[in-house]
C-alpha cells in the first residue's frame, strides 16, 4: 500500500496512528504529496480528483479517501486489534470521531484564514465562528471523557490527533484551561508509541 501524505496533516496522522495500532504501519509506503487549497497537485489529483490527502493506494491499485474511509479500511483488514467496535459502541465511536474531525475542520479553516488569506481580506467574524466551534467541541470532549477515557477506538484516536494539532498549530489557544480531564487524558494517551511515532515535526 502507498499513502500520499504530509507530516503536518492531522488527518494523515490519524491514519498512521490507526496503522500503528493495528500492526500495519510497516505495510504502508509513505509518499510525500503537497495538498494546498489554492493549488492542485497533479500527482495527488491523478489518484484523488479532490486533490486532498491522505489518499491510500491499495495493493490492488484502488485509491481510497478520506481519512475516515482509510481508517475503516485498515481496521477491516487488521488481523489484530480493532478500532471500530460493533453494536451500539460503534455509533458512539463514530460520533466521537466526527466531533474530533469537526474540530479539525474548524482549526484548519482558521489556519488558512490566518496564513493563506491576504491580511486585508481576512474576516474576523469567520475566524470567531470557527474558534467557537473548536471551543464547543473541546467542551464536549471534556464532558465525554469520564466514560471513554480507558477506551482505544477510532473516537479516542481521532480525539488525540485533534488535540495534538491544536498543540502544533495553535499553542496560544490554551485548550487545556478549564478542561483538566482532557488535559490529563491527552498527556497519557500521547505517550502511546503510535502517537510518539507520528508526531508532526517541531520547529
Q: Position of cell 480525539?
A: 159
Task: Examine the domain organization and report whether 60 and 146 are in the same domain.
Answer: no
Whole-structure pTM value:
0.95
Give the pLDDT of residue 203: 59
Q: What is the pLDDT along the chain (203 residues), one digit of tens a residue?
A: 999 999 999 999 999 999 999 999 999 999 999 877 778 888 899 999 999 999 999 999 999 999 999 999 999 999 888 999 999 999 999 999 999 999 999 999 999 989 888 888 888 999 999 999 999 999 999 999 999 999 999 999 999 999 999 999 999 999 999 999 999 999 999 999 999 999 999 85
**Is there a domain that residue 197 lies in?**
no
Which residues have CB under 8 Å from 128's CB, separation 6+? none
Task: Examine the domain organization and report whether 111 and 187 are in the same domain.
Answer: yes
Give the pLDDT of residue 34: 80
Task: Examine the domain organization and report whether 140 and 169 are in the same domain.
Answer: yes
Separation between Cα atoms, residue 199 and residue 135, nearest integer Å = 23
Domain termination residue (choose one: 55, 76, 97): 76
**Is there a domain that residue 157 lies in?**
yes
Task: Examine the domain organization and report whether 133 and 181 are in the same domain.
Answer: yes
Give the pLDDT of residue 94: 98
Domain residues for the domain of 134 are: 88-192
Separation between Cα atoms, residue 66 and residue 106, nearest integer Å = 17
Task: Examine the domain organization and report whether 181 and 92 are in the same domain.
Answer: yes
Amino acid at each position: 500500500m502507498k499513502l500520499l501524505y504530509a507530516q503536518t496533516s492531522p488527518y494523515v496522522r490519524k491514519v498512521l496512528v490507526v496503522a500503528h495500532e493495528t500492526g500495519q504501519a510497516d505495510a504502508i509506503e509513505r509518499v510525500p504529496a503537497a495538498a494546498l487549497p489554492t493549488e492542485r497537485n497533479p500527482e495527488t489529483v491523478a489518484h484523488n480528483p479532490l486533490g486532498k490527502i491522505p489518499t491510500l493506494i491499495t495493493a490492488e491499485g484502488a485509491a481510497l479517501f478520506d481519512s475516515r474511509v482509510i481508517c475503516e479500511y485498515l481496521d477491516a483488514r487488521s488481523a489484530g486489534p480493532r478500532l471500530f467496535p460493533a453494536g451500539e459502541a460503534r455509533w458512539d465511536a463514530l460520533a466521537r470521531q466526527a466531533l474530533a474531525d469537526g474540530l479539525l475542520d474548524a482549526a484548519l479553516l482558521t489556519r488558512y484564514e490566518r496564513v493563506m488569506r491576504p491580511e486585508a481580506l481576512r474576516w474576523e467574524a469567520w475566524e470567531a465562528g470557527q474558534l467557537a466551534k473548536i471551543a464547543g467541541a473541546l467542551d464536549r470532549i471534556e464532558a465525554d471523557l469520564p466514560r471513554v477515557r480507558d477506551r482505544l477506538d477510532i473516537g479516542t484516536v481521532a480525539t488525540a490527533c485533534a488535540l495534538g494539532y491544536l498543540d502544533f498549530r495553535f499553542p496560544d489557544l490554551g485548550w487545556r484551561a478549564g478542561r483538566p480531564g482532557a488535559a490529563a487524558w491527552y498527556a497519557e494517551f500521547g505517550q502511546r508509541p503510535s502517537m510518539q511515532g507520528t508526531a508532526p515535526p517541531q520547529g
